[in-house]
Structure 1
Amino acid sequence: MADPITSRARRGVTSTETQAQAPGRTLPRWHYLVALLAGAANTLSFAPTPHGGWLELAIFAFFFAWLTRTTGWKSAALTGGAFGFGNFVTGVWWLYVSMHDYGGMAAPLAGAALVLFSLYLALYPALAAGVWSFCAGHASNGKLNELPFSPTWHGAFAFASAWAVGEWLRGYVFTGFPWLASGYPQVDGPFAGFAPVVGVYGVGWMLALVAALIVQAWVRWREPVEANGNAGNAGNTRTARVMPPLVVALALIAAGLMLPWVAWTQPSNAALHVRLLQGNVKQEMKFEEAGMVAAINEYQQMITEKPADLIVTPETAIPVLIQQLPLPFSQAVGHFADTTGSAILFGALGGTVTPEGRITDFTNSLFGITPGSRDLYRYDKHHLVPFGEFVPWGFHWFVNLMNIPLGDFARGPAVQKPFMVHNQPVAVDICYEDIFGEEIARSIRESDTPAGVLVNSTNLAWFGDTIALDQHLQIARMRSLETGRPMLRATNTGTTAAIDAYGNVIARLAPYTVGSIDVMVQGTSGNTPYVTSGNNTVLAVSLFLLAFGFAFGPGIRRRNGNR
């Protein structure tokens, strides 16, 4: 592990010499290259890597140790930005596929757009690292601190808090893009148990804190000790310095491993027999007339193949307006629902008919058929995808470079009624929406009839056979952990899967195959702490600790002699 800046003082440079050198010290360019490579390596901790949470902990420990080599807030921010850029450009490269392969954008423009977007996303870890530098006493009011940096308790808490706030901002600003939040690999890591308590950002907070404490213990172990001629005393002193941060780090890991034994929710209502459909309709055919007819016929056959309590199709599986739904499809599916007792959720496009007969306010929707009822359930997507489902102001020129047949959609309400399957309320969301854990929690918390089962209907064919499919499944597993509810995913090309209330995948289909999953799913009731409070807990704690660091951090370091 890399030495922090204080290693210079330990190797014979006096405190006075160190203070004199620190303001003029610059880092070599390879320092930032190493940070970028560490960020790229961090992509490997996300799905499909098994048990990637442990790898992520090691990478974050290295990243924090590397930050301790920085000389002020500027170099810290550049280090954090380099780490973030390496992570994002390798972690969301599949956006190039949607822009170039399916959107028709020229390869150089698509590549440039990916790089620019990754640079934008890297601003948030850069901000987190810069804020940490101030709060850890590394810099004060934009100037270098006279004292060199060494990992400290308040520095560790400042790193965790700044990192969590930075990730929350990335998931909020400009409608948010929280993909690759650091908590996601922990669904198979040591901090998964914290998910129902503090959510994905709180899990990232725990990860960053433990990584910083490990580095703190390592640095304290390597620091020389004045033994006064007694080797035993030196060993005891070193152990006394190392044990507190190490014990806290191990205790948090142990808590994360034991918390999954806590039952935050309980089984509710009868288990449901569910069928999840995967039609594997090619994206380039989906909005051509021949492809639309083929897709409708395929899903009609798959829906009516055999009954289930609930049958779910992917997003826009029926790629037409609900007002233009072919009569043979609606008659066949309606008759099947009535005669077999099957409830059906299918994806299609919604719209509002004006008195003049025009259709406006197009929506990306899910429609539900209930046996014995002529009332059609409707869910309209609330959190829309920038550039895919709505065009941000001033960016129509960018969308015009692509051939994606989607425009500006209308938004549905933030909280919508669940779909009732027998006596089990089912909360639905569409594609991109399930990466926003706070919104899923809110739909449960503020509903008059809290859902016991979550359903995500999606189409990731825009991104080809890439890591995006596995990453999205990992995100869905985090939603199950946060809410204590099973999550059902019906996708066009993959990955269609059923996830239990503990985040375990109990059934899945291979990507790019045609088929269905038949599975029994037990709904739950009750609220996890995260459903009750959302992201408020981690934000309140983080902002308090950062304020404390700003106000008292440098003073604490001076009083403690830079310890």
Structure 2
Amino acid sequence: MPAPKNPLLPAVRWALAVLAGAVMVLSFAPFGWFPAALASVTAFYLLLPRGRRGGFATGWFYGLGLLGFGVFWIRISLNEFGNMPAVAANALMLLLVAALALFYALAGWLVTRLRPGEDAPRWWVGPLLVLPGVWVLLEWVRSWLFTGFPWLFAGNGQINPLPLLGAPLAGWAPVVGVHGLSLAVALSAGLVVVALRRGGGARPAALAGLLAIWLVGALLARVEWTRPADGPLSAAVLQGNVEQSLKWAPDGVLPTLEIYLDLTREVLADSDVIVWPETAIPSFLHEVEAGLLPPLTADAVAAGAEIVIGVPIMEMAERYFNGLISVGSAADRYYKRHLVPFGEFLPFDRQLRPLIDWFDVPMSSFSRGEAERPLLQVGPYRVGVSICYEDVFPEEVRQALPEAAYLINVSNDAWFGDSLAPHQHLEFARLRALENGRPLVRATNTGISAIIDHRGRVTASLPLFERGVLTGTIQPRTGRTPFAAVGSLPALLLAAAMLVAALLLGRSRNTAA
């Protein structure tokens, strides 16, 4: 039965595309309604015009909906902490959203160009091969182009269980990672499109395929890919809740240190590892090292504890790093390798600095760390570490495996206030724990701090804007998940193979004609 023509006027289609993109946001934290991603990608495909024109615009409006509602919080850091006027901050945020939406515009254009017509014998190539292949490969490009912005991928929200439903696709994460989860979402959406647009035998076949993807995911979730090592360890996370506008004030160093030292004393005797957040010390290490580290190290050794601290570290004039140090029975350092553009460094500094000299973010000229792998010695354990934004890059986090017994992420999400950002960022940390089969300790300045088990489940957390100490237990683990061993390569190769197959099927159709 041929599919009906799509009679939507362009303006109506674009408005619905914005709505479809916004629906995707509901799949991410703090909402966690994972079926929203399936509905969103399905709507993306159904809203594309039947001909070869209009796909670019429809995809762009979809991207505006997704990113406009999903990352509007960027304006908070620009306006409230970057001294940018509100009008300029909003304009720059909208410009960024419009630019990132071009990825979805390109997706719309490619799908409309590569898929066969709806009345063609191989009509199924569009939803089942072109859509998932294009979607995943463009998400992958977005993860590294111009240093990358791997935020709000279709697979990110698939680890949030719902009552009765659970999180059926989450079991794929340790096998194929977040790109594989996105592939599962996009392929599931294609199967829904087939079920909606075709009757006869196509509909039950599509529904059976959909059930198979989700059922296999549920079965994979039962597999223990890694195994316990020694331990368990008692972990303590310090959340100082130091207001961002006061943190970098000249007279703020001593009060901030007192906060974290007091919190440390509360749990020192009962903790194996204590984690301070990113740049918990709002001063260069060499300026406080003599008075801070020797007594703190002595106390840690006496108590049998290890302490991990976020602090800026200057090696020489004009060269400083966003760093982590460990003190206790072992001393080690890690320098952040993946910096945030405009927040930690200014791209094309020489050209842009005179134009935006009023943009004044503290510590915004960090140098890039050059460690081959993100590992820090914490007492007897090698630990996989990430600082803030680094934990949104799955390939970088997995580089710590298999040596890492557990993971640590330190962050300062105060830049984004009481918005969706801290919830979304915690979700990324959970996904990294699940992908790599390792527990993760997450310390943030103002929240959300958390202790996460090797299945990506939050076992304890501190809410936003609350000062306190979070305590819990982590189990060091050994071994590697399939994702930790080979990364995203299988998912990306499968996506590429889908597009190659679509092109070959299209060519054979044209040759036969």
For Structure 1 versus Structure 2, the TM-score category normalised by the shorter chain is over 0.9
Partner of 1:304, secondary structure, is helix
Give the match for residue 265 of structure 1.
226
1:539 positional shift: 1.6
1:408 positional shift: 2.1
Q: Would the alpha carbon gap of residues 465 and 398 (structure 1) be closer, same or farther in structure 2, given more than 3 Å must change?
A: farther
RMSD: 2.3
Given the alignment of the two structures, is residue 203 of structure 1 paired with residue 181 of structure 2, yes or no?
yes
Give the match for residue 77 of structure 2.
98
Given the alignment of the two structures, is residue 382 of structure 1 paired with residue 361 of structure 2, yes or no?
no
Give the match for residue 234 of structure 1.
none
CA distance in 2, matches of 1:397, 1:505: 45
Pick aligned residue for 1:529 from 482, 500, 505: 482
Give the match for residue 405 of structure 1.
362
Q: Would the alpha carbon gap of residues 398 and 531 (structure 1) be closer, same or farther in structure 2, given more than 3 Å must change?
A: farther
Asked if structure 2 preserves the Cα contact closer than 8 Å seen for 1:346 and 1:368, the reply is yes
The one-letter amino acid paired with 1:63 is F
Give the match for residue 511 of structure 1.
464
Pick aligned residue for 1:424 from 378, 381, 385: 381
Give the match for residue 181 of structure 1.
153
Give the match for residue 230 of structure 1.
none
Give the match for residue 367 of structure 1.
325
Given the alignment of the two structures, is residue 296 of structure 1 paired with residue 224 of structure 2, yes or no?
no
Pick aligned residue for 1:71 from 13, 36, 51: 51
Given the alignment of the two structures, is residue 442 of structure 1 paired with residue 439 of structure 2, yes or no?
no
Give the match for residue 64 of structure 2.
85
CA distance in 1, matches of 2:480, 2:246: 43
Give the match for residue 219 of structure 1.
197
Give the match for residue 339 of structure 1.
302
Asked if structure 1 preserves the Cα contact closer than 8 Å seen for 2:116 and 2:122, the reply is no
1:399 positional shift: 4.6
The one-letter amino acid paired with 2:51 is T
CA distance in 1, matches of 2:43, 2:8: 20
CA distance in 2, matches of 1:437, 1:209: 21
Asked if structure 2 preserves the Cα contact closer than 8 Å seen for 1:285 and 1:292, the reply is no
The one-letter amino acid paired with 1:301 is D
The one-letter amino acid paired with 1:103 is G
Partner of 1:261, secondary structure, is coil
Give the match for residue 6 of structure 1.
3
1:82 positional shift: 1.0
Give the match for residue 548 of structure 1.
501
The one-letter amino acid paired with 1:345 is V
Pick aligned residue for 2:43 from 38, 41, 62: 62
TM-superposition CA deviations, 1:37-88 (whole Å, max 9, x none): 11122212211013x1122212222222222x3421x412221211111110
Q: Would the alpha carbon gap of residues 410 and 214 (structure 1) be closer, same or farther in structure 2, given more than 3 Å must change?
A: same
- State the TM-score, normalized to the length of structure 1: 0.85
Asked if structure 2 preserves the Cα contact closer than 8 Å seen for 1:134 and 1:550, the reply is no
1:549 positional shift: 1.6
Which region of structure 1 is more displaced relative to structure 2, 149-158 or 408-417? 149-158
Given the alignment of the two structures, is residue 157 of structure 1 paired with residue 129 of structure 2, yes or no?
yes
Pick aligned residue for 1:461 from 414, 418, 422: 414
The one-letter amino acid paired with 2:293 is S
CA distance in 1, matches of 2:3, 2:487: 39
CA distance in 2, matches of 1:553, 1:500: 46
Partner of 1:45, secondary structure, is coil
CA distance in 2, matches of 1:161, 1:116: 27
CA distance in 1, matches of 2:107, 2:277: 37
The one-letter amino acid paired with 1:7 is P
The one-letter amino acid paired with 1:342 is A
Q: Would the alpha carbon gap of residues 148 and 173 (structure 1) be closer, same or farther in structure 2, given more than 3 Å must change?
A: same
Asked if structure 2 preserves the Cα contact closer than 8 Å seen for 1:184 and 1:200, the reply is yes
Given the alignment of the two structures, is residue 109 of structure 1 paired with residue 88 of structure 2, yes or no?
yes
Asked if structure 2 preserves the Cα contact closer than 8 Å seen for 1:265 and 1:528, the reply is yes
1:92 positional shift: 0.6
CA distance in 1, matches of 2:16, 2:121: 20
CA distance in 1, matches of 2:14, 2:427: 30
Asked if structure 1 preserves the Cα contact closer than 8 Å seen for 2:74 and 2:416, the reply is yes
Asked if structure 2 preserves the Cα contact closer than 8 Å seen for 1:273 and 1:521, the reply is yes
The one-letter amino acid paired with 2:441 is L
Partner of 2:34, secondary structure, is helix
Pick aligned residue for 2:423 from 470, 478, 481: 470
Q: Would the alpha carbon gap of residues 209 and 334 (structure 1) be closer, same or farther in structure 2, given more than 3 Å must change?
A: same
The one-letter amino acid paired with 2:466 is T
Asked if structure 2 preserves the Cα contact closer than 8 Å seen for 1:47 and 1:474, the reply is yes
The one-letter amino acid paired with 1:120 is A
Identity %: 34
Given the alignment of the two structures, is residue 324 of structure 1 paired with residue 287 of structure 2, yes or no?
yes
Asked if structure 1 preserves the Cα contact closer than 8 Å seen for 2:26 and 2:34, the reply is no
Q: Would the alpha carbon gap of residues 378 and 351 (structure 1) be closer, same or farther in structure 2, given more than 3 Å must change?
A: same
TM-superposition CA deviations, 1:511-539 (whole Å, max 9, x none): 10000111110011111111111121122
The one-letter amino acid paired with 2:220 is L
1:331 positional shift: 3.6
Give the match for residue 163 of structure 2.
none
1:487 positional shift: 1.2
Pick aligned residue for 2:453 from 477, 485, 500: 500
Q: Count residues in correspondence.
A: 503
Pick aligned residue for 1:34 from 2, 11, 16: 16
Give the match for residue 164 of structure 2.
none
Given the alignment of the two structures, is residue 166 of structure 1 paired with residue 138 of structure 2, yes or no?
yes
Give the match for residue 169 of structure 2.
191
1:370 positional shift: 2.2
Asked if structure 1 preserves the Cα contact closer than 8 Å seen for 2:129 and 2:501, the reply is no
Give unmatched runs, 5+ long, in structure 2.
Answer: 161-166
TM-superposition CA deviations, 1:216-235 (whole Å, max 9, x none): 011112xxxxxxxxxxxxxx
Q: Would the alpha carbon gap of residues 474 and 61 (structure 1) be closer, same or farther in structure 2, given more than 3 Å must change?
A: same
CA distance in 1, matches of 2:413, 2:355: 21
Give the match for residue 482 of structure 1.
435
Asked if structure 1 preserves the Cα contact closer than 8 Å seen for 2:374 and 2:399, the reply is no
1:425 positional shift: 2.0
CA distance in 2, matches of 1:132, 1:252: 23
The one-letter amino acid paired with 2:387 is I
The one-letter amino acid paired with 1:77 is F
The one-letter amino acid paired with 1:59 is S
The one-letter amino acid paired with 1:533 is V
Partner of 1:405, secondary structure, is coil
Q: Would the alpha carbon gap of residues 398 and 454 (structure 1) be closer, same or farther in structure 2, given more than 3 Å must change?
A: farther
